[in-house]
Structure 1
Amino acid sequence: MTILLWLLILFAIHAVALAQQRQFNITHGSSLTPIISSSWFSPSRHFAFGFYEKTNGYAVGISIVGMPKKTAVWTANRSSPVVPSNAVLLLTSDGRLIVQVGSQEISVINPSRAIASASMLDMGNFVLYDSDRNVIWQSFDNPTNTLLPGQHISAGQELFSSASEADDSFGIFRLEMQHDGNLVQYPVACRLRNLTRGGYRRERTIIYMMKIDADGILRVYSHSLNQQNSSVIWSSTDDRCIPKGLCGHNGFCTNIDDQAKCLRLPGFDFVMPGNWSAGCERNFPTETCQLKENYDMRTVENTVSEDSTYVVLGGTTKEDCEQPCLQDCNCEAALFKDRECRKQRLPLRYGRRDLGNSNLALVKASPDSSFTEESSTDAGRDSRYSTAS
């Protein structure tokens, strides 16, 4: 009787194991919809592949579950990731993974061979197999903006930030593993710790991930599935103005109340108010530049930018730096520091406020143009770069 009981228990365990295998083995004809049965889960149900909600529709990707809001770690079709609520994600009988929207078919993943089955693994890796159970594609080899523990980035591969917290299409920052072994963030260089060796302990209730955020800062997040919250445990910088390109051309970044703000230079207006990365443009014509009385030089203190010097004047005063720029049609601004005057052409790139730097930016402007730094702050406010800290 005891042996029979153990046999029954073992049979039940085996049946459950087989049922779980069938449940997590995605085969031909398997489908998902955004509203009902929206995801294929990993065995632990910590990760899911399928639809996750965005403000203007749904995207297809891999997300961490068990949080108040699904946290995406991989996104498909980032050039146009959002689909409507009537979309269907389908593994077709001929081995394609597609999204159907009415009569339209959108390819999700394009492996080299037909897909026989797929699995969402507990590491957060979504894997596609051929009929011989060979791996023909996996998300760990094709990262988007996030790396999970155990995942690597190969030489020549890149991570692209999202456009914003609400938009997972391509943003303006990228991280590349160069063939020389350097991990470089363009246009800012950044070395990183190895997250897979001696880094953070792995626990069943905590998921770590490294992500290049929409504001250009690289962060390591800790997601607690028990407490259903997340926190930043490491970041490449605490200065939100360090990532270059945030403010576009002819603007400069400053930290106000621990938030990055983009300001316009004197004589400039935002190209697209509300979109900082579009930069700024002149708000007056410059056809009569040979008449120096048509212009003033405005001073912006403690401001640095990419050096685009074409003439250097040494042993000057601030006034001696302003006059040669006013008389030079090619000079749009000058950088003055330590009695050295460096003439600049437009565009002025990667400007930022650095209170520890005595550099003065002397900018050519119309006498009629009014400018205060306070008035420029709200005009350029951009919600795309709000990031949890």
Structure 2
Amino acid sequence: MSILTILFVLLISTAAEAQRRSSNIALGSSLTPSSNSTWYSPSGVYAFGFFPQHVNSYAVGIFLPDKTVVWTANRDSNPTVPDNVVSLLLSTDGRLILRRRQGQDVEVISPSTTIASASMLDNGNFVLYDSESRIIWQSFDHPTNTLLPGQQLPSGKELFSSASETDYGRGIFRLKMQNDGNLVQYPINTPDTGPYSYYNSVTYGAGGNVSLNIDSDGRLYLLNGSLLLQNISSGRFPTQGSINLMRLDVGGIFGIYSLSLGNLAMTRRWASTVDECAPKGFCGVNSFCTLMDNEPECLCLPSFVYVQSGNNTAGCSRNFLTQGCHIIDDRFKYDMRRVENSEWEDNSYENLNIMSEEECSKACLDDCNCEAAFFNDNQCKKQKLPLRFGRRSIGNSNIALVRVSRTTDMGDSDRKRMIKKERHIDLLIVGIVLTSVGVLALSISAILAHKRRKDYNRIKKDDGANFVEGISLQAFTFEHISEATRGFKEEVGRGASGTVFKGVLRNDQKMVAVKRLEKEFTQGEREFQTELKTIGKMYHRNLVRLLGYCLDGAHKLLVFEYMSNGSLADILFNQQKRLSWEERMKIARDISRGILYLHQECETQIVHCDIKPQNILMDGNWCAKISDFGLAKLLKQDQTNTYTGIRGTKGYVAPEWYQKQAITVKADVYSFGVMLLEIICCRKCVDWNRSEDEAILEEWVYDCYATGKIGSVVGDEMVEERKVERMVKIGIWCVQYDPSLRPTMKKVLLMLEGTVEIPIPPNPSSFLSSI
């Protein structure tokens, strides 16, 4: 090594050491959001401190002179700094914390050992040191949405887009340096598999030592150890008076940007794609992305409307209510509308080989579970909502066929004519049917008159049941139910309203669950049958189907479809049967859809009044279904009697029960919120075997959320913290003491599906402290 080389190395190392010393941040140093104070790098190019986040709030991170943020603290949980924060403090006991006026301090960064000092370096790296001047933490090891020159994205790590241009929390796109050597882009909350990717470097198989790197001139490349694997961008952008960096944009495209330090102008030099609709999920559910003058725009499916006014990327929902599978003439109430040249996520539940688009439309209309269908190359794929990852691309031959209501899909004058025509047809059909029934009744009345009394309350030997007029239910005799249950031998459940037995119907060997009601009735037989008619008309895939009943003197029994996998309580609180996070979240969405149907979509609004894991049953396909709906009105009972075992504790009962306030659908929202927290944590809402701080689930979960310990609620389970936090926030909103603060089940479902943003929830008990 030459003398000049040695001198150069010494000069560089000396300069680096001087740079670290000159930017030293000592213990006791602090920043305040109101004074715009920051810890600058020696050149003044990079700054560490507070920056604006939303209105009248801040976040902590690293930013450039033009206020471009290149790193954000606490991004995986909640980057927003609350109003009661006084300062960002490198405390004398070696912690980097947010100090509040009231309450506990919040750690911004938690290194493994005590901090002795910190530095904001000229390369944009924020570094923490121990007492031996060794690096114990650095921002370069924890990238958020940006890579700076000299920084790497190693194997297994990801970048995440920001939520918006003004919200630096996690967004909906990710760029992952996979362990197989492939650099791939996905939407969030999707598996690392090909169907969900929308960019990849095609370097799979290179091994687990590949990293993404960027040079100061903007060259972006992959290194396999120390060997160049692939150039992604060629670079060669100006470096004098400029800073080049790589950023994953809000819209899901990553690119190279140059900041001119002279005029503070930021320019995009290179992008991974020019197609702004390429990122899957740019548009929310039930909408698709299309380019208008090379600008992306999200359009709703036919007969759908935007869920958020002014935010077309948040997704769409129907502008009409579906009426369920009990409607016989669906084909006359609905049409299929087409969206040509469109791509979507394929979640088909049935695939058909069909020759024409018309046959595909008819197949979907004939299936009341079918809400949309994809037709392409003689293949018809039936779908359920929501549809995701929609985009329109020229040359794509796929056609999306969407079920729409005829009356909402036409003009007012056409709609009125349609309704008038349907009424005339209905009257004509009713007249013909009544006439035919009258003639038939007169013909056979004499024959049946002498048998009527004898056969009343008896069961037919061929089918064992009678169809009751006006109800899609069967009326069973007590003898037949007793035979089906083998004398009520096999008990499978017991609740406040009665005991459930397993049975098999004689005629078709269908397995059923028989509930023997044990509550006193205040209404007569006619009123009881009236309520049964209401329940019998309900049909939804997330409700347990009522098949029939028996009303024979003192014997009052309900016959339901049998759920082979037991109750949610059997699974949720059993560590041997513990389901995965994704399976539990699917169950939560299933339950919310069932409650939404009861609250808004069925003919008669039903407040369940007893939402809890014991009343959520699982069918053979692990689909969650709500049971015991309608029993509150059917039994006319004081529902508080159901909860006497946990009176005075924060169980499933909404506070308004104890305040003698009017009970609305928000009582079910509260109970769902408690159950959602149970689903998240896999524990009961009240557990006095735990410490006093953890016994009441909702109080403990809120404490974990407020103190930044959100990972504690899932214990050792490997779940991304942002996913846990999102579900916890939904649960906290649902269990607000004030019913007016709780969201509707429609809003809850949208939050669970990820189509709407979830604001920061208040303390559920804060209302109590203010009265």
Q: TM-score, normalised by structure 1?
A: 0.83
- Report if the CA contact (8 A) 2:349-2:381 is conserved: yes
Change (3 A) 1:345 1:37: closer
Query: Is residue 286 from structure 1 mapped to residue 303 from structure 2 by the alignment?
Result: no
Query: SS at 2:111's partner residue?
Result: coil
| Partner of residue 9, structure 1 | none
Whether the aligned pair in 1 keeps the contact of 2:152 and 2:214 (CA below 8 Å) is: no
Greater fraction helix = 2
Q: 2:308 aligns with which of 256, 262, 272?
A: 272
Q: Is the 8 A contact 1:290 1:328 kept in 2?
A: no
* Preserved contact between residue 28 and residue 90 of structure 2 (Cα < 8 Å): yes
Q: CA 1:35/1:205 → structure 2, altered by over 3 Å: closer, same or farther?
A: farther
- Assess if the C-alpha contact under 8 Å between 2:354 and 2:360 holds in 1: no
**Contact 1:290–1:329, Cα closer than 8 Å, also in 2:** no
Structure 1 residue 184: Cα displacement: 2.0
Match of residue 347, structure 2, among 308, 315, 321: 308
User: Which range moves more in the overlay, 204-213 or 329-338?
Assistant: 329-338
The residue matched to 1:309 in structure 2 has which SS?
A: coil
Distance 1:206 1:19, change over 3 A: closer
Give the alignment of 1:199-238 within 5 angstroms: 199-200=235-236, 203-238=239-274
Counterpart of 2:140 in 1: which secondary structure?
helix
Hey, what's the Cα distance between the residues in 2 that align with 1:108 and 1:312?
51
Residue 362 of structure 1: CA displacement? 1.2
Give the alignment of 1:44-55 within 5 angstroms. 44-55=43-54
Q: 1:295 to 1:204 in 2, by over 3 A?
A: same
Q: Distance in 2 between matches of 1:244 and 1:37?
A: 38
1:120 alignment partner in structure 2: 120
Task: Looking at secondary structure, tell me which structure has more strand per residue.
Answer: 1
The answer to whether residue 101 in structure 2 is matched with residue 92 in structure 1 is no
Q: 1:275, CA displacement in angstroms?
A: 4.5
CA distance in 2, matches of 1:124, 1:340: 54
TM-aligned CA deviation for residue 204 of structure 1: 4.4
Match of 1:108 in 2: 108
State the shift of 1:289 in Å: 5.2
Stretch deviating more after TM superposition (49-58 or 200-209) = 200-209
Q: Please name the residue that 2:372 is paired with.
A: 333
- Equivalent residue, structure 2, for 1:14: none
Query: Is residue 2:28 matched to residue 1:29?
Result: yes
- Alignment-derived partner of residue 190 in structure 1: 199
Report if the CA contact (8 A) 1:35-1:85 is conserved.
no
- The reply to whether residue 251 of structure 1 matches residue 250 of structure 2 is no
Q: Considering only CA atoms, is the larger Rg found in Structure 1 or Structure 2? A: 2
- Aligned residue for 1:94, secondary structure, equals coil
Q: Aligned to 1:343, which of 350, 357, 382?
A: 382
Supply the distance in 1 between the matched residues of 2:379 and 2:94 (Cα, whole angstroms): 66
Describe the superposition over 1:240-297 as per-residue Cα deviations: whole angstroms up to 9, x where unpaired. Answer: 2111122222221112233222221123333333445543333321314542111111
Distance change >3 Å, CA 136–CA 319, structure 1 → 2 = same
Aligned to 1:163: 163
The aligned amino acid for 1:154 is P
Per the TM alignment, residue 348 of structure 1 is displaced from its structure 2 partner at its CA by 1.6
Residue aligned with 1:136, SS: strand
Shift of 1:95: 0.5
Separation (CA, whole Å) in 1 of partners of 2:400 and 2:372: 7
Describe the superposition over 1:294-324 as per-residue Cα deviations: whole angstroms up to 9, x where unpaired: 1111112222212223434445222222111
In the alignment, the residues of structure 1 paired with residue 300 and residue 410 of structure 2 have an alpha-carbon distance, to the nearest angstrom, of 9
Deviations 1:157-202 (A, max 9, x none): 2212111001111111122222222222223342357423674457
Does the residue aligned with 2:362 lie in a helix, a strand or coil?
helix
Q: Which residue of 1 aligns with 2:145?
A: 145
Hey, what does 2:69 align to over in structure 1?
72
* Counterpart amino acid of residue 177 in structure 2: M
SS at match of 2:360: helix
Cα 1:339–1:135 change in 2 (3 A) is same
Q: Deviations over 1:77-127 (max 9, x none)?
A: 223223349631111101001122313422111000111011111110000
Work out whether 1:355 is the aligned partner of 2:364: no
Q: Which runs of 5+ in 2 are unaligned?
A: 1-15, 188-196, 202-211, 216-220, 222-233, 412-754, 758-771
Q: Among all aligned residue pairs of Structure 1 and Structure 2, give the percentage whose two residues are the same amino acid.
A: 52
Aligned in 2, Cα 1:53/1:366: closer, same or farther, shift over 3 Å?
Answer: same
Alpha-carbon distance in structure 2 between the residues aligned to 1:146 and 1:18: 26
Q: Is the partner of 2:259 in helix, strand or coil?
A: strand
Look up the SS of the partner of 1:320 in the other structure.
helix
Q: Distance in 1 between matches of 2:314 and 2:45?
A: 38
> Structure 1 86/344 Cα, relative in aligned 2: closer, same or farther at 3 Å?
closer
Shift of 1:342: 2.7
Residue-pair matches, total: 356
- 1:62 — aligned with what? 62
Structure 1 residue ranges without an equivalent (≥5): 1-16, 373-381, 385-389
* Correspondence for 2:79: 81
For 2:200, give the aligned amino acid: R
Per-residue deviation, 1:239: 1.5
Instruction: Give the whole-Å Cα distance in 2 for the aligned partners of 1:21 and 1:247.
Output: 45
| Separation in structure 2 between the aligned mates of residue 218 and residue 59 of structure 1, nearest angstrom | 23
Farther-moved stretch of structure 1 (362-371 vs 285-294): 285-294
Q: Residue 321 of structure 2 aligns to which amino acid in structure 1? A: F
CA contact (8 A) 2:140 2:151 kept: yes
TM-fit CA distance, 1:29: 1.0
CA distance in 1, matches of 2:376, 2:186: 27
The code of the aligned residue for 1:365 comes to: V
Aligned 8 A contact 1:264 1:280 in 2: yes
Please give the alpha-carbon distance, in whole angstroms, between the structure 1 residues aligned to 2:240 and 2:258: 12
Q: Kindly indicate whether residue 130 of structure 2 is the aligned counterpart of residue 130 of structure 1.
A: yes
* Bigger relative contact order (CA 8 A; separation at least 6): 1
Give the letter aligned to residue 328 of structure 1: D
Query: Residue 153 of structure 2 aligns to a residue in which SS?
Result: coil
Q: Is the 8 A contact 2:125 2:138 kept in 1?
A: yes
CA separation of 1:140 and 1:347: change in aligned 2, threshold 3 A: same
Change in 2 beyond 3 A, CA 1:258/1:18 = closer
The residue number in structure 2 matching 1:7 is none
